[in-house]
């Protein structure tokens, strides 16, 4: 492991500090660039809404007390409400906190009226009254500057001016042509824009304090999270080191978050698998050395007898030596097969062949070999089934399964091989009448070097590799396989294989 990798602690603190810094920068950007425009937008919305409400109230002829309602609106929204006609006569006024119409000349009022009408019936301005008065159109001088319309008004000032407007304390003036007393009149609303300079200052300071506190909290939080996450990881790490040293009886069940407890569970599983493998390896060495020693002892014994005692040089004794040598070479072949299959170097050599014929030839080979020993191997089939598979490997499967069935079958020495076909899928079963296999052992027998029930009736010779080879060949072919067995009533090993051609046969 590289020592220069950054610890989670510093990473977390780094993330937290950058987060707070980002947040600080963002808040400041919002405050500097957007606070004024947000404020203005809200104000514009408010004044327009107020205008709408006022028009509705004025239109409502049933509301005899509308003057009071308007007064309330004016008070609540700090708004001056004035209504005057094109001749400049003020018909209604709530000049709270101040009115502007009362400070205009008749001509100015008339100009305001005309301008609003020309602007489409409503007009919005962000200026103080004096500056409006300075406007050329207000003084009715020909060749007037273009009047901003309702929506474009704000954009006619540049950003800088807008900001200054707010800071110097301008007014927001809204005018709208309405019908009042059955005549066309001008509704003039005016509200103050509070200077935001001081507010903005306060917000800045608040943001700074809040961020300082946030920074302290985030560093504390980083430490808490670090302790919560990192401690269990460190515990797991030190235990994993023990595991690597070969201490398999270790338990990883440390608390912590789900991911860490999942990691611990996985390591627990790895520890138990490793200890199983180690046990299996130990068993294998014991098994293999035993399996090697037995035939070697026999071979040496027979050879010595044949050398030392005249007349013992008989064909039977030589046959025994040959048989034992075969056993040795079978054992070595099994070990090589399984290591090749498991290392993944084995490739399938697919071809179409009759699995029915393969079964027949395996049985024939056995019959020659076991003929005199009273075994009854029966093949039940009614079709000749062709499959696309690796015939050598499938023959090895058949050989191993039939070999096991013969080894482990009951006293009646009967073994049945059954081939059935259902919608182009053949099922091959190898049935014996032996003692059967415990349910817990049924899963384990497919493992390498596993030898079940040391209580077999007859002494059996095996490496514990046969079924593992079978399983690997099934997996390589992608075949479904299994075993059905009940203690005391034999076992049935089976697999399914797709048929590519099916021929009828005359008799079973």
**Long-range pairs for 117-123 at CB < 8 Å and ≥24 separation?**
117/177, 118/147, 119/147, 119/149, 119/150, 120/149, 120/150, 121/176, 121/177, 122/51, 122/150, 122/174, 122/175, 122/176, 122/177, 123/147, 123/149, 123/150, 123/153, 123/174, 123/175, 123/176
Distance CA 414, CA 133 (A): 120
211 binds ligand ADP (CB under 6 A): no
Q: Which of residues 54-73 bind ligand ADP (CB under 6 A)?
A: none
99 binds ligand ADP (CB under 6 A): no
287 binds ligand ADP (CB under 6 A): no
Closer Cβ to ligand ADP, 156 or 442, answer by number: 442
Q: Which stretch binds ligand ADP (CB under 6 A): 186-194, 225-233, 245-253, 465-473?
A: 465-473
Distance CA 455, CA 435 (A): 10
Q: Which stretch binds ligand ADP (CB under 6 A): 5-13, 47-55, 88-96, 446-454?
A: 446-454
Q: Which stretch binds ligand ADP (CB under 6 A): 45-53, 154-162, 306-314, 400-408?
A: 400-408
Q: Which stretch binds ligand ADP (CB under 6 A): 23-31, 94-102, 117-125, 459-467?
A: 459-467
Q: How far is CA 187 from CA 50, 94, 140, in A?
A: 11, 11, 20
Q: Which stretch binds ligand ADP (CB under 6 A): 238-246, 262-270, 361-369, 466-474?
A: 466-474
C-alpha torsion angle, residues 7, 12, 17, 22 (rounded to 10): 120
Q: Which stretch binds ligand ADP (CB under 6 A): 20-28, 114-122, 155-163, 445-453?
A: 445-453
Closer Cβ to ligand ADP, 275 or 442, answer by number: 442
Neighbours of 97 (CB within 10 A): 12
Shortest-Cβ-distance residue relative to ligand ADP: 462
Task: Kindly determine how many residues on this chain lie close enough to bind ligand ADP according to the rule CB under 6 A.
Answer: 19
Give, for 464, the enclosing helix (H) or strand (E): none
Strands 414-422 and 425-432, how do they pair? antiparallel
Question: Max alpha carbon distance in the chain (Å)?
Answer: 153
Q: Which stretch binds ligand ADP (CB under 6 A): 111-119, 205-213, 462-470, 496-504?
A: 462-470
- Least distance (Å) between residue 366 CB and ligand ADP: 14
What angle separates helix 258-308 from helix 197-244, to the nearest 10 degrees?
10
188 binds ligand ADP (CB under 6 A): no
- Least distance (Å) between residue 410 CB and ligand ADP: 10
User: Which residue in the set 468, 473, 481, 499 belongs to the binding site for ligand ADP (CB under 6 A)?
Assistant: 468
295 binds ligand ADP (CB under 6 A): no
437 binds ligand ADP (CB under 6 A): yes
Q: Cβ neighbours of residue 338 under 8 Å, at least 6 residues apart?
A: 448, 465, 468, 469, 472
- Least distance (Å) between residue 478 CB and ligand ADP: 21
Interface map 352-391 toward ligand ADP (x if CB under 6 A) = ----------------------------------------
User: Which residue in the set 138, 252, 302, 408 belongs to the binding site for ligand ADP (CB under 6 A)?
Assistant: 408
Distance CA 8, CA 2 (A): 14
Q: Which of residues 27-56 bind ligand ADP (CB under 6 A)?
A: none
Q: What 8-state DSSP symbol labels residue 411?
A: T
Q: In degrees rounded to 5, what are phi and psi of residue 378?
A: -110, 135
432 binds ligand ADP (CB under 6 A): yes
406 binds ligand ADP (CB under 6 A): no
Interface map 73-92 toward ligand ADP (x if CB under 6 A) = --------------------
Q: Cβ neighbours of residue 472 under 8 Å, at least 6 residues apart?
A: 338, 341, 342, 346
Q: Locate tokens 């100009």: which residue?
A: 111
Interface map 480-499 toward ligand ADP (x if CB under 6 A) = -----------x--------
Q: Which stretch binds ligand ADP (CB under 6 A): 38-46, 199-207, 272-280, 401-409?
A: 401-409
Which has the closest alpha carbon to 188: 86, 63, 76? 86
Q: In degrees rounded to 5, what are phi and psi of residue 178?
A: -130, 175
- Least distance (Å) between residue 228 CB and ligand ADP: 48
Q: In degrees rounded to 5, what are phi and psi of residue 416?
A: -115, 130
**Which residues contact ligand ADP by CB under 6 A?**
404-405, 408, 432, 434, 437, 445, 450-453, 462-468, 491
């Amino acid at each position: 492991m590289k020592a220069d990798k950054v610890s989670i602690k510093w990473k977390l603190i780094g993330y937290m500090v950058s987060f707070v810094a980002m947040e600080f920068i963002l808040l400041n950007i919002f405050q500097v660039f957007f606070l004024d425009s947000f404020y203005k937008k809200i104000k514009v919305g408010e004044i327009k809404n107020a205008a709408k409400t006022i028009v509705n109230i004025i239109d409502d002829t049933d509301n005899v007390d509308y003057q009071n309602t308007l007064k309330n609106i004016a008070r609540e929204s700090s708004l001056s409400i004035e209504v005057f006609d094109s001749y400049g006569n003020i018909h209604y006024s709530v000049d709270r906190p101040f009115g502007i119409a009362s400070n205009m000349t008749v001509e100015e009022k008339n100009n305001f009226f005309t301008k609003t009408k020309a602007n489409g019936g409503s007009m919005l301005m962000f200026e103080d009254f004096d500056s409006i008065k300075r406007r050329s159109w207000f003084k009715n001088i020909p060749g007037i500057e273009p009047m901003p319309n309702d929506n474009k008004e704000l954009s006619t000032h540049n950003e800088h001016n807008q900001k200054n407007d707010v800071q110097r304390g301008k007014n927001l003036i809204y005018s709208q042509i309405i019908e009042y007393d059955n005549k066309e009149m001008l509704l003039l609303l005016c509200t103050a824009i509070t200077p935001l300079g001081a507010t903005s200052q306060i917000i800045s300071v608040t943001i700074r304090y809040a961020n300082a506190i946030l920074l302290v909290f985030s560093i504390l939080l980083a430490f808490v999270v670090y302790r919560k996450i990192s401690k269990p990881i460190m515990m797991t790490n030190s235990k994993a080191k023990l595991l690597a040293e070969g201490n398999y009886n270790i338990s990883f069940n440390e608390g912590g978050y789900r991911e860490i407890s999942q990691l611990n569970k996985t390591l627990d599983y790895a520890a138990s698998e490793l200890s199983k493998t180690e046990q299996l390896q130990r068993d294998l060495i014991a098994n293999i050395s035993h399996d090697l020693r037995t035939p070697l002892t026999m071979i040496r014994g027979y050879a010595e007898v044949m050398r030392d005692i005249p007349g013992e040089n008989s064909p039977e004794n030589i046959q025994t030596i040959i048989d034992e040598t075969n056993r040795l070479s079978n054992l070595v072949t099994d070990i090589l097969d399984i290591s090749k299959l498991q290392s993944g170097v084995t490739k399938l050599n697919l071809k179409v062949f009759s699995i029915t014929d393969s079964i027949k030839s395996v049985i024939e080979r056995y019959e020659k070999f076991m003929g005199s020993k009273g075994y009854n191997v029966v093949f039940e089939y009614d079709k000749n089934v062709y499959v696309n598979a690796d015939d050598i490997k499938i023959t090895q499967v058949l050989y191993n399964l039939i070999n096991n069935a013969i080894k482990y079958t009951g006293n009646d020495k009967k073994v049945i091989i059954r081939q059935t076909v259902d919608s182009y899928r053949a099922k091959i079963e190898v049935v014996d009448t032996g003692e059967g296999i415990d349910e817990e052992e049924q899963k384990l027998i497919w493992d390498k070097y596993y030898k079940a029930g040391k209580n077999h009736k007859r002494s059996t010779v095996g490496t514990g590799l046969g079924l593992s080879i079978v399983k690997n060949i099934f997996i390589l072919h992608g075949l479904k396989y299994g075993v059905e067995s009940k203690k005391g009533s034999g076992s049935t090993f089976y697999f399914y294989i797709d048929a590519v051609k099916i021929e009828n046969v005359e008799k079973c």
